[in-house]
Amino acid sequence: MRQLLISDGTTAEAAPYTGGLLPAGAIDVVGLSADGFTPITAGQTIANSSAIRLVQGTGTSNIVSPWIEGVTVTRWTGESFAAQQAQTSTITIAGTASAAFNATVKITSRAIGQAQFERRSYTVAVASGDVQNTIAAAINTAINANLPAFIASSAVVGNVITLTGQTFDSDPYRVLSSFETQEDIDGTFTTTATIAAGNTPDLGNGGDGNLIVELEASLQGMGRGYYDRVQLPVAPPAYAVAATTYDLYKLGYNNPVAGSINGVDNRREIIVAYPAGGAGQAWFEGQINPWMTSTPGTFAAVAL
């Protein structure tokens, strides 16, 4: 089981409940004790509350996690936002053509999981006497006239063409691009092409808003709604914002149920997403860290 709770980054944490409801966008940490359950205060440990649960306010209801017994916690970590990084590659043209010839450049997708790699081939007629900048500009024009889906842009400055791959976005059919570039401009006509790797593709830490939107949608059935006995279908509400970047807190625990497969059915994960550097993070850490560090797992405090 995986659950995602999302703060809006502006609503003050520890805001008072109204009619039992936490304000929309706020996150709270509730403890279980002999007196029932109540928001825990900074510094409280497992000795004060044997179990906690996390609460997200929506304005109309509270989204709550299951009760998390301190003795069952297996993971407490955090990740500060790290941006996605698109792959880049450069093609540097050098020399002046000694005769007319056809120059060919190929770009091939290397994204994981594709049964048939998408590719494009570009052939440009080079005239005798064409200089390196002219040849580079012609190749760049040809690429942009038939840009493959896995390439976000092709740009030329002087004699250097820079290819930039796509990053993941909210379209579930687009993945972070990985690609390979080839050419046949080998100096036969006193013109050469040199391919150099730039940035390597990197998804960052997963706190990109588009990834959080996609995670939220996947946990709700890819945003297609779900069925209940009253109205079919029901569109689940969404709280993740694609334009926002998030810091992530990750809590793992075991919640044994009779008849479950140990390590499979009973493994749970809760992800709390805060807008990167947003209000409330220090408060949230102050509430939950002392409790986490006091559990049998003695997890290190998370400070983002």
Question: Of the candidates 72, 44, 78, which has an alpha carbon nearest to the alpha carbon of residue 294?
Answer: 44
> DSSP label at 72?
G
Mean pLDDT across 42-60: 90
Mean pLDDT across 42-63: 90
- Extract the tokens encoding 5: 């709770």
Alpha helix stretches (DSSP H) within the chain: 132-145, 209-219, 281-293
Mean pLDDT across 253-261: 66
- Are the C-beta atoms of 144 and 154 separated by less than 8 Å? yes
Whole-angstrom distance, CA of residue 68 vs CA of residue 66: 6
- Are the C-beta atoms of 143 and 107 separated by less than 8 Å? yes
pLDDT of 174 = 66
pLDDT band at 40 (very low <50, low <70, confident <90, very high): confident
pLDDT of residue 114 exceeding 60: no
pLDDT band at 198 (very low <50, low <70, confident <90, very high): very high
pLDDT of residue 293 exceeding 70: yes
- Extended beta strands in the chain, E state: 2-6, 27-33, 36-39, 51-57, 62-64, 68-69, 73-79, 88-94, 101-109, 119-126, 151-157, 160-165, 179-183, 192-197, 246-254, 267-275
Per-residue pLDDT reduced to its tens digit, 129-148: 999 999 999 999 999 999 99
Cβ count near 171 (within 10 Å): 10
The percentage of residues in the chain with a pLDDT greater than 90, rounded to a whole number, is: 54
Mean pLDDT across 83-110: 95
79-83, 111-115, 206-210, 236-240: least confident range: 111-115
Q: Which of 20-34, 103-117, 140-154, 204-218 has the highest mean pLDDT?
A: 140-154
Query: Which domains are delineated in the chain?
Result: 2-82+240-293 (no CATH), 88-197 (2.60.40)
> DSSP label at 85?
B
pLDDT of 84 = 86
- Are the C-beta atoms of 127 and 101 separated by less than 8 Å? no
Name the maximum alpha-carbon separation found in the chain: 89
Contacts of 36 (CB under 8 A, 6+ apart): none
Question: Of the candidates 32, 40, 46, which has an alpha carbon nearest to the alpha carbon of residue 76?
Answer: 46
Phi, psi of 287 (to 5 degrees): -80, -45
Contacts of 13 (CB under 8 A, 6+ apart): 7, 26, 27, 28, 279, 280, 283, 284
Calculate the average pLDDT of the chain.
87
pLDDT band at 272 (very low <50, low <70, confident <90, very high): very high
pLDDT of residue 222 exceeding 70: no
pLDDT band at 118 (very low <50, low <70, confident <90, very high): confident
pLDDT of residue 173 exceeding 80: no
